[in-house]
A and B are shown apart, each in its own frame.
Chain A
Amino acid sequence: MSVDTQADAPLLEVQGLSKRFGAIQACRNISFDLWPGEVIGIVGESGSGKTTLLNCISARLAPDSGRVLYRTRHEGPADLNGMSEPARRMLMRTDWGFVHQDPREGLRMRVSAGANVGERLMALGARHYGNIRAEALDWLGMVEIDQTRVDDMPRTFSGGMLQRLQIARNLVTRPRLVFMDEPTGGLDVSVQARLLDLIRGLVADLGLSAVVVTHDLAVARMLSHRLMVMWRGSVVETGLTDQVLDDPHHPYTQLLVSSVLQP
């Protein structure tokens, strides 16, 4: 993993973000910066607000208050809320990736594996069928899917393969920032390990920045440089991943860490 410690500005700045659903305060006044090459893990139990936070900072949900600034490639920091809808869509399709817990949400199940990967390239204007197919094949290889499966429908894939296909679909446009919501949730442990290792390698090789939501502290330890612990809509503790997990200070973090079963 490689944080760009020489970078001069953060890629994403979250300032005082709050979001409420009726009586429930899902996110309360959350601020943090994400730097180029950095992976932040958001941990906490179900209902702590971590997925809401992920949705708010990835422009999938509008916060009630606060700002999310993204440093675009050419025009510097831009407020996601002030951005035009086409500009935001373009960002989401090209510069960003979003890996859903359920790959079926992030894939198109009625088109082939190859088309799933090629689609985002076409959104970027690629038209040459041979090139798109070649790139799709490349990416299947990179996520360890047998290239002979390129014309197969995703429904014939196992859960782990679907998740790897979703990752290929996201990374083909070389995004700078990837959001992941429980990327290993719902997979067998053996499949999880392979996926984690794959994600770790790709994030480091491509110099990606990422925000990873997970309730699994082992996943957080393996993928992220820094952790934010959420509890009842607030961030109660932050720090380097090993600091938070090895020397937790907040009562909730201590409970979380001490509740993990050692195999």
Chain B
Amino acid sequence: MNPAIEVRNLSKEFTLHTQGGTVLPVFRNLDLTVSPGECVVLGGPSGVGKSTLIRCMYANYRPTGGTIAVRHDGRPADIVSAPPRQVIDVRRRTLGYVSQFLRTIPRVPALDIVAEPLRAVGVEAAEARARAAELLRRLRIPERLFGLPPATFSGGEQQRVNIARGFAHPYPILLLDEPTASLDAANRETVVGLVREALDRGAAIVAILHDQDARDAVATRLFDLSPYSAM
């Protein structure tokens, strides 16, 4: 089967010009291949660069070297060197990302935040909202909050809105950065269910999951970043 993601020779370091040009190397010459239907959970001690790797895969961070081929429209696209418009297109249709924190937008209600990725791929407003509502209900967001902007929600509620948003569109590839942090047991179980459903439809998933139970429930493989550490 064609890989969904192929990371080759990836290196990332940060140069802090405001700190006298201090260079912080993170990882070096990292290789990782993820196939459809796989859930690769990233491992290694805190600071080894798990979030940095996920952010590089989303093209949010720009690597120092290497390539990240993402299967988009049946062809590999190097997200590191792709022009911005192509990255936007890959993110819209292929690459989903659940970050650690929800970025709220003033005045935009929770329901619309969740429906937005569906609207972006052309789903009708009513259908997108219905799917969004279904996800929010599954994640136990009270119905009365659907119409409110999440800026005032609790941390756990915001994270669940974020998860619903990430799972609204059936992306072929999902990047999950600690989706179960700050969730109670019942909601953790729901997220495990969502991940399993995504795997069943053939999604390729890369996740950071510190919760042992959640990890055991979904991981098909662990990938330890320690050997690539450049510290």
Residues of A within 8 A of B (CB-CB), count: 25
Assess the A38–B62 pair: CB atoms within 8 A.
Answer: no
Question: Taking the complex as formed, is B46 at the interface, i.e. its CB lies under 8 A from any CB of chain A?
Answer: no
Assess the A246–B61 pair: CB atoms within 8 A.
Answer: yes
Which residues of chain B come closer than 8 Å to A153, judged between CB atoms? Answer: none
CA distance A5 to B93 in the complex (A): 11
Which residues of chain A come closer than 8 Å to B15, judged between CB atoms? Answer: 249
Assess the A247–B61 pair: CB atoms within 8 A.
Answer: yes
Name the one of B14, B60, B85 contacting A35, with C-beta atoms under 8 angstroms.
B85
Question: Taking the complex as formed, is A169 at the interface, i.e. its CB lies under 8 A from any CB of chain B?
Answer: no
* B68: min CB distance to chain A, Å: 14
Of B84, B86, B107, most A-chain CB atoms within 10 Å: B84
CA distance A36 to B44 in the complex (A): 43
List CB contacts (< 8 Å) of B1-58 with chain A: 14-18, 55
Report the contact-size class of chain B (Cβ under 8 Å from the partner).
20 to 34
Assess the B89–A5 pair: CB atoms within 8 A.
Answer: yes
Name the one of A5, A226, A246 contacting B86, with C-beta atoms under 8 angstroms.
A5
Question: Taking the complex as formed, is B74 at the interface, i.e. its CB lies under 8 A from any CB of chain A?
Answer: no
List CB contacts (< 8 Å) of A196-240 with chain B: 196-197, 200, 222, 225-226, 239-240
Q: Name the residue of chain A whose CB is nearest to the CB of B56.
A: A247
Question: Taking the complex as formed, is A31 at the interface, i.e. its CB lies under 8 A from any CB of chain B?
Answer: no
Name the one of B14, B62, B92, B120 contacting A243, with C-beta atoms under 8 angstroms.
B62
Question: Taking the complex as formed, is B59 at the interface, i.e. its CB lies under 8 A from any CB of chain A?
Answer: yes
Of B14, B16, B85, most A-chain CB atoms within 10 Å: B85
Assess the B84–A258 pair: CB atoms within 8 A.
Answer: no
Which residues of chain B come closer than 8 Å to A251, judged between CB atoms? Answer: 17-18
Assess the A254–B84 pair: CB atoms within 8 A.
Answer: no
Assess the B88–A225 pair: CB atoms within 8 A.
Answer: yes
Knowing A246-B61, A255-B17, the reply to whether A240 touches B105 (Cβ < 8 A) is no
Assess the B107–A246 pair: CB atoms within 8 A.
Answer: no
Question: Taking the complex as formed, is A193 at the interface, i.e. its CB lies under 8 A from any CB of chain B?
Answer: yes
Assess the A5–B92 pair: CB atoms within 8 A.
Answer: yes
* A53: min CB distance to chain B, Å: 19
Question: Taking the complex as formed, is A55 at the interface, i.e. its CB lies under 8 A from any CB of chain B?
Answer: no
4 shortest A-B CB distances, which residue pairs? A251-B17, A193-B106, A5-B89, A247-B61
Q: Given contacts A200-B105, A222-B105, A254-B17, could you give 6 more A-B pairs where the C-beta distance is less than 8 Å?
A: A5-B86, A35-B85, A239-B84, A240-B59, A240-B88, A247-B14
Chain A residues proximal to chain B, CB less than 8 Å? 2-3, 5, 35, 38, 193-194, 196-197, 200, 222, 225-226, 239-240, 242-243, 246-247, 249-251, 254-255, 258
